Amino acid sequence: MATVNNTTSTNSADLFAKIGGSSSSTSSSTSTTAEMENRFLTLLMAQIKNQDPLNPLDNAQVTTQLAQLNTVNGIERLNATLSQLLSGYNESQAMQAAGMIGKNVMVPGNNLPLASSQAVGGGSLASAADRVLLTVKDSAGKVVQTVDLGEHAAGDFFFAWDGKDADGKVLADGKYTFAIEATANGKKVEASPMQIGTVSAVVRSTDGFLLDLGSLGSVAFKDVQQIL
């Protein structure tokens, strides 16, 4: 008469719990995927060797466990690949940001610094406009000049201001601000002011790279609309 080894059969739930590290006898330290694979194969071979012939392993459960293990392994490899891609992207962005030092950039904002009676700014139109109105204000918020810039197509545009007020008087150099209003056939067109500054330095921050534009402050590299 055949004899059966006196061993306790391990069900799939117990086996998966041991692999996942949730068993009370398992160390609390986190296992790597390679360790999990080795532990799984060791437990599987022990389970096959000591299985009860009258109650053999369920093939479907073993297949499910293998699929779950492969999924974990695949996710880990995907995360590693994404980390490499992100690292390469950050290095590329650093090179691009460093190459912008000394260049003029257009970014969102309404500052219009006047130096040697010259100032340049820009705007962005959501759609074409038959009239674009520029309003310049001094540091106290007083309107000093209003200029009709005429019609402009949709997108970005630039303008220059000679530093004179509405009476033709040359104003002192300093900080000024501006606003843009646009209309098409009497209807308002969405318009955004764009300030232009020179990149003097590049600073790395937790949110990416910041471009130092001197008196215009710092702006995020991703906010640059155009490089002039």
Helix or strand run (H / E) with residue 12: helix 12-20
Quote the mean pLDDT of the chain. Answer: 79
The stretch 135-154 carries a mean pLDDT of 96
- At 55 the pLDDT is 63
* Contact partners, residue 151, CB within 8 Å, separation at least 6: 128, 129, 130, 131, 132
The token pair that represents 173 in the structure block = 């150099």
Residues 155-178 have pLDDT tens digits of 999 999 999 999 999 999 999 999
More confident residue, 75 or 1: 75
Lowest mean pLDDT among 11-15, 53-57, 106-110, 205-209: 11-15
Q: In the chain, what are the helix, strand and coil shares in percent, each to the nearest 5?
A: 30, 35, 35
- At 202 the pLDDT is 86
The stretch 138-146 carries a mean pLDDT of 95
- At 212 the pLDDT is 92
Distance CA 130, CA 149 (A): 10
- At 204 the pLDDT is 82
- At 39 the pLDDT is 72
More confident residue, 100 or 194: 194
The token pair that represents 58 in the structure block = 């369920």
- Has residue 107 got a pLDDT over 90? yes
